[in-house]
Structure 1
Amino acid sequence: MIGIVGIVVIFVMVFGGYIAAGGKMAIILKSLPYEFTMIGGAAIGAFVISNDTSAIKHTLKDVGKVFKGPRWKPDDYRDLLCLLFELVRFARQDPVRLEEHIEAPGDSSIFANYPRILKDREAIDLICDTLRSASMNYDDPHQVEEVLEKRMEANHEAAMHSSHALQTMADGLPALGIVAAVLGVIKTMGSIDQPPEILGKLIGGALVGTFLGVFLAYGLVGPFASKVKDVTEEDNHFYHLIREVLVANLHSHAANICIEVGRQNTPSHIRPSFSELEEALKEVKQRDVA
């Protein structure tokens, strides 16, 4: 919602100020379809050239983050801590039966209590693979931690591709606007024998290309890239929380300590309070007893 508000503010302030200053929209509206075809078409073409099919689909999907915001909400972080608590405690009590849950999380009674997390393949794979590594009796927990770190860096780099692709497009739009403007000047020079009022409109139409390229770059595509980057980094905290808890588990800390390590390493604006988490963990314990 806030993304839509921002777009409305941009258009109202830019074009509202232009009209208030005595500008006429007729020249812009007449030239806009042609200039947009040249600039937008060239930008899209360059985007397609520089990305493969999967990256294009990924970027188009990530544009929705501008309006939806982060995927993981504060309640999801609380649920994740509860899920990890159950798994860590189960691993200590009955490591053999734990294999049933981590080998087939879709059929697990533990994972079934957290459907939103279960839908995220990367989160589930990260949890199950790390618990599986722990069950293999690694001599040095730092080995698992290093593997986790490299895996998360690779995943984060892949997730950031959409932001980089949009920013590259934003960087190129002003130059494409100049290309469109130059073509407009060439068109104007072909009508140099026309009276000043006609030449004025032709020159104004040519300058719309420069305006449109800069406006799209800094008013829309650039901010989109920045927002996608921020949301991606925000969602990445979810996977960092998994790492913090499971690494603490590898060092044989008590289950409650592992969870508290994860809670305190969660950013403050999405971190569940100690009392809130304690209440949720009590419900988990009661459900396990039942």
Structure 2
Amino acid sequence: MFGMIGIVVTFAMVFGGYVLAGGHLEVIMHSLPHEMMMIGGAALGSFLLSNETATIKHALSGFGRSLKGPKWHESDLQDVLCLLFQLLRIARANPVELEGHVEEPANSPIFQAYPKILKDEQAVALITDTLRSASLNYDDPYQVEEMLSQRIGLMNEEAMHAPHALQNMADALPALGIVAAVLGVIKTMSAIDQPPEVLGKMIGGALVGTFLGVFLAYALVAPFAQRLQAVMKQDQSFYDVIKSVLVAGLHQHATNLCVEVGRQSAPEHVRPSFGNLENALRELKRAS
């Protein structure tokens, strides 16, 4: 919502101010298709050249994700804490029963109660793999904790590839705008025998390239990259919460304390309240 508002405000203020100051949009609109072809084409080509296929796909889908916002919200964090609470209770009471939930999460009634989490392969794999490893290495929880930390770190690193790729494109756009402007100057110099009014329009068209490169970089692509990075960080915090609960469980803390450690590790603006989480856990205890 605010992303679309930001785009509208940016275009309205820049081009509205230009028109109110006496500028003529005809010059910009006349040069825009050719300048956009050169600048946008060069930016797209260098983007494809410098990134892997997975990064390209994530970056292209990142524009929509930036506008849509984070995937995980406060209710999802409360759900995953309740899910982990149930799994840890089973692990303490009956490890054999836990094996069925870990080996076939799609058929587990506990996982099925949280369909959004079940659809996320990373979250499910993180939970099941860690609990499976923990069951084999309870004498050395630090080994499992180290493996979990490395996995989370790799996930965070991979998630940041797309925002970094978009930021690199934003950094390159002003220079590409200068390239287009220089080409426009070359075109103008080849028509130096034309009257001043013709040369003026040609020079103005050449400067559109510089304007377009800077405008695209700092008003659109860079903000999208920063917004996508913020969205990715918030979504990655969901997995950090899972890690916190599982690590606390590995050290044999009380189940309620493990869940509270996870709640405290969540970002403040999406952290479930203690009262709401306590009520949810109380309902789970009554249902079991």
Distance apart, 1:141 and its partner CA: 1.5
AA aligned to 2:98 is L
Is structure 2 residue 54 aligned with structure 1 residue 22? no
AA aligned to 1:109 is P
CA distance in 2 between counterparts of 1:242 and 1:76 reads 12
CA distance in 1 between counterparts of 2:145 and 2:137 reads 14
CA distance in 1 between counterparts of 2:114 and 2:190 reads 68
AA aligned to 1:44 is L
Matches within 5 A, 1:219-238: 219-238=219-238
Instruction: Quote the residue 1:215 is aligned against.
Output: 215
Residues matched between the structures, number: 288
Distance apart, 1:59 and its partner CA: 1.2
**Cα deviation per residue 1:230-254 (whole Å; 9 max; x = unaligned)?**
1101111100001110111011111
5+ unaligned residues in a row in structure 1: which ranges? none
**Cα deviation per residue 1:138-190 (whole Å; 9 max; x = unaligned)?**
42212111111111111111111100100010000000000000000011011
RMSD: 0.9
Instruction: Quote the residue 2:59 is aligned against.
Output: 59
Instruction: Quote the residue 1:79 is aligned against.
Output: 79
CA distance in 2 between counterparts of 1:13 and 1:4 reads 14
AA aligned to 2:79 is D
Matches within 5 A, 1:96-111: 96-111=96-111
Matches within 5 A, 1:141-180: 141-180=141-180
CA distance in 1 between counterparts of 2:167 and 2:279 reads 44
AA aligned to 2:244 is E
Instruction: Quote the residue 1:276 is aligned against.
Output: 276
AA aligned to 2:187 is K
Distance apart, 1:93 and its partner CA: 1.1
CA distance in 1 between counterparts of 2:119 and 2:3 reads 26
CA distance in 1 between counterparts of 2:176 and 2:14 reads 21
Distance apart, 1:287 and its partner CA: 2.4
AA aligned to 2:259 is I
Q: Secondary structure, in 3 states, of the residue corresponding to 1:3?
A: helix
AA aligned to 2:252 is S
8 Å Cα contact 2:39/2:176 also seen in 1: yes
Instruction: Quote the residue 2:4 is aligned against.
Output: 4
Instruction: Quote the residue 2:90 is aligned against.
Output: 90
Distance apart, 1:267 and its partner CA: 1.5
CA distance in 2 between counterparts of 1:236 and 1:194 reads 59
CA distance in 2 between counterparts of 1:215 and 1:115 reads 42
**Cα deviation per residue 1:120-150 (whole Å; 9 max; x = unaligned)?**
1001110001111111134221211111111
Matches within 5 A, 1:117-132: 117-132=117-132
TM-score by length of 1: 0.98
AA aligned to 1:233 is K
State the 4+ residue runs in structure 1 displaced beyond 6 angstroms.
none
CA distance in 1 between counterparts of 2:64 and 2:153 reads 23
AA aligned to 1:274 is F
Distance apart, 1:274 and its partner CA: 1.0
Matches within 5 A, 1:225-264: 225-264=225-264
AA aligned to 2:17 is G
Distance apart, 1:52 and its partner CA: 2.2
8 Å Cα contact 2:138/2:250 also seen in 1: no
CA distance in 2 between counterparts of 1:91 and 1:62 reads 38
Distance apart, 1:116 and its partner CA: 0.4
Is structure 2 residue 217 aligned with structure 1 residue 199? no
CA distance in 1 between counterparts of 2:232 and 2:60 reads 14
**Cα deviation per residue 1:13-62 (whole Å; 9 max; x = unaligned)?**
11011111111101000000000000000000001111122221121122
Q: Secondary structure, in 3 states, of the residue corresponding to 2:269?
A: coil
8 Å Cα contact 2:137/2:144 also seen in 1: no
5+ unaligned residues in a row in structure 2: which ranges? none
Instruction: Quote the residue 2:69 is aligned against.
Output: 69
